[in-house]
Amino acid sequence: MKTILLIHGPNLNRLGDREPEIYGRTTLPEIETMMTARGRECRLAVRTFQSNHEGAIIDFIQGEQAAASGIIINPGALAHYAYALRDCLTAVACPVIEVHISNVHKREAWRRTSILAEVCTGVIGGLGVDGYLLALEYFREK
């Protein structure tokens, strides 16, 4: 069974509570449950991780990358400035999909540039939590 890492960055532990008009009411535990269940249906093991700290995310990726067939990452605001995370993602051998719940291109100008996007296999944004399912579908087909 392939292993997919599902990683969430800063403030995403507050999903469902933080700005629900932008991010919706689905909580992070609900997303993790949804993805784990869908992963089982697709014969994919989904391993979840969330941190508000860039270094902890890097440590997780480096520690798990040998077993990973793919990474789905919602980096939150780290997408705009986390060069160490970018270097980490550049070094992994598996495909990486960047996911954003909101459409960052309809928001503040500073949110419109992701320094991670060009080292990712693909980017999904603006589809709410369905974006995660689409990313998982990509790995199911691989």
The list of the chain residues with pLDDT below 50 reads none
- Cα distances from 140 to residues 15, 40, 43, 45, in angstroms, run 26, 11, 8, 11
Q: What is the pLDDT of residue 34?
A: 98
pLDDT digits (tens, 9 = 90+) for 99-120: 999 877 666 676 668 999 999 9
Q: Single out the residue of 5, 2, 13, 137 nearest to residue 76, CA to CA.
A: 13
Number of domains in the chain: 1
CATH value at residue 33: 3.40.50.9100
Residue 23 annotated among the catalytic residues of the structure: yes
Q: Is residue 58 within 8 Å of 87, Cβ to Cβ?
A: no
Tokens 């909580």 belong to 27
Determine whether 100 is an active site residue.
yes
Looking from the CA of 42 toward its CB, the CA atoms found within 13 Å total 22
The candidate with the shortest Cα–Cα distance to 3, out of 57, 48, 47, 58, is: 47
Active-site residue, selected from the candidate residues 53, 100, 105, 138: 100
DSSP 77-93: GGGGT-HHHHHHHHH-S
Sign of CA dihedral 64, 10, 115, 95: positive
Provide the domain limits for residue 111. 2-141
Q: What residues contact 113, with CB distance under 8 A and at least 6 apart?
A: 80
* Token representation of residue 55: 């270094």
Please pick, among 8, 23, 105, 138, the residue that the annotation labels catalytic.
23
